[in-house]
Structure 1
Amino acid sequence: MNYTLQQLRIFKTVAETKSITKASEVLHLTQPAVSIQLKKLQDQFDIPLTEVIGRQLYITEFGNEIAEVSERILNEVMGIRYRSKAYKGHLVGTLRISIVSTAKYVMPYFLSDFMRAHEGVDLQMDVTNKAGVISSLEENAVDFALVSVLPEQFEVDKVTLMKNKLYLVGSRSPVEKGNIVRKSDFEKLPFIFREKGSATRRAMVDFLRASGIRTGKMMQLTSNEALKQAVIAGLGYSIMPIIGLKNELNNGSLQILPVKGLPISTSWNLIWLSSKKFSPIANAYLDYVKEEKDTIIKEKFNWYEDY
């Protein structure tokens, strides 16, 4: 046997995702690279690790056993790495964070310098919807979460990072230049919503209801990025957080449309369970955020304060 740790890591990921395509995305490798390493590992066994039926990849019983052994080996190797760094007095372990999809435009900037300063710290960041974030917190599966709406199901503590501002945006204005979009204009506009349960959708619906506004044709998309591309293509209009629209606003593919009562202003909050017992890594990260957040906002989000 002459398999490598990389081959075991790739096979473990393929076994978890049941897909070479998905495994390549998780590992940030090309599909051919994953396929080649998978074949090299398979060549060392007389019993198949996988089988393809139709277009679906399945892991054989033997393959599942190898995947379990691979996970144990990789965990032991990681343990060696952690112990060696711990002996040198470094922080070691994993920082676990769950964020809602629009927070992907915010959270990395509050992580990069911390991760660079602590080489022994690994990052596990799950980008999901609001329900997924709440579930991760409730199950104590993460150290922190980044949300714009605080959960009501349990007690949390928080650090407010920065404002979250939502505007009506479109690829072109439905009214003459200089005019605001009025209540009667909304009824003629095709409107694109996020899925039910999304904090962005909730803010949008609350605004429309409070303003007594009815919209025209309604569409629903389940990710902020898909919604943005639909608006750019002229499929409709939406009320969106502008934190993820910097390039589109600069190049003119999207524009903010003036509406009475907008923007909606909420806050991005780093939250954690009030009863959470922090690891040394989580404690160090919280101290870092409290100390550096104003500097990060000034350096990375100065454009955002102009809106």
Structure 2
Amino acid sequence: MNYTIHQLQIFLKVVQKQSITKASEELFMTQPAVSIQLKNFQDQFDISLYEIIGRKLHITDFGKEIALIAERVIEELNTINYKTEAYKGMLTGKLKISSASTGKYVIPFFLEEFLSNNAGIDLVLDVTNKTKVVQSLKNNEIDFALVSVVPDLLDVEEELLIDNKLYLISSEPQPNEQMPLIYREEGSATRSAMEHYYGTHNSKARKRLELTSNEAVKQAVIAGLGNSIMPLIGIKNELIEKQLYILPIEDLPVTTKWRLIWLKGKRMSPVAKAYLDFIQLKKNEILEEKFKWYQEYK
């Protein structure tokens, strides 16, 4: 056998994504290039690693076993790289963060300087809904979670970052009680806040759509399909361009807090500890430089 590390990485990514197209996007390769390397890797084995049935990729049981081994091999290779850099005096390793979907408008600004100053650190950032974020934290798969509401029945510590302000958003500048409501999916913190608000204000507005991302909700509101309670942090450009309007409604905005949380008593890696120290030292400076518009918005 004469397969390469690159082929192991490609095969593992294809298995993780269950798609050559999605794997090629994440690897910044063309689809034909991934397909060629995948075939070259398969040619090293007498047993099928995958099958394509009805244009859909299926990983065989043997392929799944090889993927598990490939994952361990790549982790060990990363460890070699980290150890090499560490001996040269660099902070090295992985920083693993899972963020609630709207947190994608927040967390990059709290990472940029830290990663720029520490070239030996690899970031693994998973942006998903609150339920999956909390599950990753509960399973101790990540260093930190970025959430706007502290999860129940989970003993955590936290570092507050910034307010999360939610307003009623419309494509029209004036309130229209006939407009239906657009909700996020079950498990979303924004969905919970919206349900709580309308559950306590006897609204007669009906639910029309349920969408699985903040971006999808935003585009649906712009298209005039309905109104929604949304985080201010994600609609700055649309407000400037007058694609969206904030409606003056009683008891809004709803305000929570974006916070980094981690399991209480967790033994942090040197990278995670360094990042937390950075946040505590630089937080106010980042807020002043990157979020002044947001904090001043009334």
- Tell me the TM-score normalised to structure 2 length: 0.92
Q: CA deviation at 1:152?
A: 1.9
Name which of structure 1's ranges 297-306 and 264-273 shifts more when overlaid on structure 2: 297-306
> Aligned partner of 1:274: which letter?
K
Equivalent residue for 2:103?
103
- In structure 2, the partner of 1:18 is 18
Contact between 1:137 and 1:272, CA under 8 Å: does it hold in 2? yes
Measure how far apart 1:47 and its partner are: 5.0
Q: CA deviation at 1:69?
A: 4.0
Q: 1:42 to 1:266 in 2, by over 3 A?
A: same
Q: Deviations over 1:132-187 (max 9, x none)?
A: 111112112211111111112122111110111111111123x3xxxxx4xxx53x
Following TM superposition, by how much is the alpha carbon of 1:199 offset from its aligned partner in structure 2, in angstroms?
Answer: 1.0
* Equivalences for residues 144-183 of structure 1 within 5 A: 144-173=144-173, 175=174, 181=175
Instruction: Flag the 1:62–1:154 CA change in 2: closer, same or farther, 3 A.
Output: closer
- Note if contact 2:183-2:207 (Cα within 8 Å) is conserved in structure 1: no
Once residues 102 and 192 of structure 2 are traced to their aligned partners in structure 1, the CA distance between those partners, rounded to angstroms, is 14
Query: Could you tell me which residue of structure 2 aligns to residue 200 of structure 1?
Result: 190
Matched to 2:103, the amino acid is: A
Alpha-carbon RMSD across the aligned residues, in angstroms, is 2.0
1:189 and 1:217 in contact (8 A); partners too: no
258-267 or 25-34: which moved more? 25-34
The answer to whether residue 276 in structure 2 is matched with residue 293 in structure 1 is no
Q: Distance in 2 between matches of 1:70 and 1:217?
A: 46
CA distance in 2, matches of 1:157, 1:69: 35
Q: Per-residue CA shift, 1:239-292, capped at 9, x if unaligned?
A: 100111122112222121221221111110111112211111111111000111
Structure 1 residues without counterparts, runs of 5 or longer: 176-180
Work out the CA distance in 2 between the residues paired with 1:32 and 1:81: 29
The Cα shift of 1:295 comes to 1.1
Say which SS state the counterpart of residue 262 (structure 2) adopts.
strand
1:136 counterpart SS class = helix
- Show structure 1 runs of 4+ deviating over 4 A: 43-48
Q: What is the CA-CA distance between 1:49 and the residue it aligns to?
A: 3.3
28 and 172 in structure 1: CA distance in 2 versus 1, 3 angstrom threshold = farther
Q: Any idea what SS the aligned residue of 1:284 has?
A: helix
1:265 corresponds in structure 2 to: 255
> Which residue of structure 2 aligns with residue 233 of structure 1?
223
Distance 1:61 1:216 in 2: 47
TM-score normalised to structure 1 length: 0.89
- Corresponding position of 1:92: 92
C-alpha distance in 1 between matches for 2:240 and 2:34: 38
Letter in 2 for 1:106: V
**Paired residue total:** 297
Shift of 1:216: 3.0
The answer (yes or no) to whether the contact 1:167–1:257 under 8 Å persists in 2 is yes
One-letter code aligned to 2:95: L
Of residues 133-142 and 209-218 in structure 1, the stretch that sits farther from structure 2 once superposed is 209-218
* Structure 1 residue 306 displacement after superposition: 3.3
Aligned to 1:178: none
For structure 2, the 5+ residue unaligned runs are none
Question: Could you tell me whether the CA contact under 8 Å between 1:189 and 1:237 is conserved in 2?
Answer: yes
Query: What amino acid does structure 2 have at the position aligned with 1:239?
Result: I
CA distance in 1, matches of 2:234, 2:32: 32
Quote the Cα distance in structure 2 between the aligned partners of 1:198 and 1:71.
Answer: 31
